[in-house]
Amino acid sequence: MNRRGNGSGIVGLILGAVAIGAIGFMAFSPLFEREDPKLTISRDGYWNFQDPIKVDVEDVSGLKSFTATIVGPHDEWVVVDEATPSKETKKSFEVLPPKGIRNPEAQSVILKIEATDNSLWGMFTGNTIKKEMTLVIDQRRPVLSVIASSYKIQKGGSAIVIFKAEDTQMESLKIETTIGKTFIAQPFYKKGYYASLLAWPVQSESFSATVVARDKAGNETRGSVPLRLKDHAYKVSKIELSDAFLDGKIAELANVYEQTVGVNDRLEQFRIINEKVRADNEKVIHTITSKVSNVMINDFRPVPFYPLVNGQKVADFGDHRIYSYKGQENISQAYHMGLDLASIHMGAITSSNGGKVVFSQPNGIYGNLPIIDHGFGLYTLYGHCSEVHVHENDRVATAQEIAKTGMSGYAMGDHLHFGILVQGIEVRPEEWMDSKWIHDNIASVIDTAKMFIDQQ
């Protein structure tokens, strides 16, 4: 009897161990993962019943099945039904209305989504997520009309556009361009109206802009900005590098910039400073100057910018500089994205228009660099300063002295590198230094738009 008892006990222990092992295996094996699939749905709250709704499904064990059902007041349509197990951990589906139905009578529908993974959890049935969402059907496109704009824009220059855009469920307003830059409009004068400065980069051969209004349902209206393009020939300078320059200024900067650590070749030091360091510094500038307020603006008419009394131009904006060295052509290239002005040693630099200081630090080749936000997406920068008298977040007044000219950064002589940017794009300072240009291309357009708006 004892032998039988001992045998039963051993069998029990073995079965218990097997059960514990099985439970442990199920608890820790990836085959029995217990997380529900994760869903990301591109539409929430509104739908135009035209464009597809994108659904992304993610699960570590892959997807076993997926269904999407649209439910109306009187009908129900299964629009996606996939039951082919897949090892893919990420899958995407497009939910479209049933064929032949594009104008539903209902004001809303319910979207039901169900996804099951390949896990063996739950008695081998897997983990399932179910989600329902109500979508209001809105098939009306936003109202959009361009009411005023600059007559022309010059390569490397600026322009303005003012437009009306209305939709009770507006999701986004932007100005797309052929240069890959998206400009952001600011509320203007009265509710439903918007305005933005535009900029045509000097490096781009052509330019066009389109206002795009999109609502939460996915309806979109586009309006082209009527601008006459005016080309402008910018200087191309072929510059021979000297040993004195490489052994002097470049060697000095190479000892300062982290991008040239461990680089001993003089020409490679120059390339890195002229290209890599410059790009890093300009990225800082572009990020800072791309910001636009969302506060309504009623007017914008700056006075001409004259940052340096009796300043003489010593280098052009847009100058395409191509460098060579002892018969080696095209060592490096760069565009000079400001206007260099010089007067006396450590000349006083003033801000011709008021604004807010958004940057006041050394910035690589630009040296000591204050940047001022004048509103409406317009910024000015002042490079190579020997002294800076303002700090970030300071408010500067018209004609206030903000700095003194100098040789900080990548500068060979005492001067001011004066730059103007529109939403992160460098533009010709000469335009904003010309009272007639400001009147004809900015102020008069604003006046025309206001007259139109007041008559509505």
CB proximity list for 273: less than 8 A, separation 6 or greater = 250, 253, 254, 257, 259, 260, 365, 410
User: pTM value?
Assistant: 0.87
Whether the predicted pLDDT of 12 surpasses 60: no
* Domain spans of the chain, in order of start: 30-137, 143-232, 236-434
The whole-number average pLDDT for the span 409-415 is: 95
Note the CATH architecture for domain 143-232.
Sandwich (2.60)
Output the DSSP codes for 71-111. Answer: E-SS-EEEEEEE---B--SEEEEEE-PPTT--S-SSSEEEE
Homologous superfamily of the 30-137 domain (CATH): Macroglobulin (MG2) domain (2.60.40.1930)
Average pLDDT, the chain: 92
pLDDT tens digits for range 387-399: 999 999 999 999 9
pLDDT tens digits for range 324-364: 999 999 999 999 999 999 999 999 999 999 999 999 999 99
pLDDT grade for 8, boundaries at 50, 70 and 90: low
Sign of CA dihedral 103, 104, 108, 111: negative
Burial of residue 299 (number of CB atoms within 10 Å: 0-12, 13-18, 19+): exposed
Note the CATH architecture for domain 236-434.
Distorted Sandwich (2.70)
Asked if the domains at 30-137 and 143-232 fall in one CATH topology, the answer is: yes
Look at 23-27, 128-132, 318-322 and tell me which has the smallest mean pLDDT. Answer: 23-27
